[in-house]
Copies of this chain bind each other. A is one copy, B any other.
Amino acid sequence: MTLKKTVAELADFLGGVFQGDGSVLISGLGTLETAGPEFITFMANPKYAAKVAETSAGAVLMSPGGERYGRTAIEVANPYLAFAKLLTLFYTKPHEAVGVLPGANVSDTAKIGEETSIYPGASIGKNVTLGARTTIYSGAVLYDNVIVGNDCIIHANAVIRERCRIGNRCVIQPGAVIGSDGFGYAPDGSGYYPIPQIGIVVLEDDVEIGANSCIDRAAIEVTRIARGTKLDNLVQIAHNCQIGEDCMIVSQVGISGSAKIGNHVTLAGQVGVAGHLTIGDNVMVGAQSGVPSSLPPNGIYSGSPTMPHREWLKSSMVLPRLPEIKKTVAALEKRVAELEARLNQPLEES
Binding site for B on A (CB under 8 A): 29-31, 78, 80-81, 83-85, 87-88, 91-92, 103, 105, 119-123, 137-139, 141, 143, 155-157, 159, 161, 171, 173-175, 177, 180-181, 183, 185-196, 198, 206, 208, 210-212, 214, 216, 220, 227-228, 230, 232-234, 236, 238, 245-246, 248, 250-252, 254, 256, 269-270, 272, 274, 287-288, 290, 303-305, 307, 311-312, 314-323, 325-326, 328-329, 332-333, 335-336, 339-340, 342-343, 347, 350
A326 and B321 within 8 A (CB): yes
- From A107, which residue of chain B is reached at the shortest CB distance? B120
A212 and B83 alpha carbons, distance in the complex (Å): 32
Cβ distance A39 to chain B, nearest Cβ, rounded Å? 11
Q: A81-B193, A83-B186 are in contact. List 16 more A-B contacts (CB 8 A).
A: A78-B186, A103-B123, A105-B121, A155-B161, A173-B181, A175-B212, A180-B210, A183-B230, A185-B230, A191-B227, A191-B228, A305-B316, A311-B320, A312-B320, A318-B322, A336-B336
Alpha-carbon gap, A194 to B83, bound state (A): 11
A220 to chain B: which residues have CB within 8 Å? 29-31, 87
20 sample A-B contacts, Cβ–Cβ < 8 Å, listed by A number: A29-B220, A78-B188, A81-B188, A84-B186, A92-B196, A121-B141, A137-B143, A138-B141, A157-B175, A171-B194, A173-B177, A175-B212, A175-B214, A183-B250, A232-B236, A252-B254, A272-B288, A303-B320, A307-B320, A329-B332
Are B211's CB and A180's CB within 8 A? yes
Closest 5 CB pairs of A and B: A105-B120, A123-B138, A180-B211, A141-B156, A159-B174
Q: Given that A269-B256, A318-B326, A323-B314 are contacting pairs, would A85 and B236 also be in contact in the complex, using a CB cutoff of 8 Å?
A: no
Q: Are A288 and B287 in contact (CB under 8 A)?
A: no
Contact check, A248 vs B185: say whether CB atoms are below 8 A apart.
yes
Distance A304 CA – B270 CA, assembled complex (angstroms): 12
Docked Cα-Cα span, A347 to B349, in Å, equals 11
> CB-CB < 8 A to A185: which residues of B?
230, 248
Given contacts A155-B159, A175-B177, A303-B319, contact A87 B340 (CB under 8 A): no
Partner of A254, one of B157, B270, B321, B322: B270
Residues of B contacting A159 in the complex (Cβ-Cβ under 8 angstroms): 139, 155-157, 174-175, 211
Residues of B within 8 A of A175 (CB): 157, 159, 175, 177, 212, 214
Structural contact, A272 and B270, CB atoms closer than 8 A: yes
**CB contact between A350 and one of B80, B316, B347 (< 8 Å): that residue:** B347
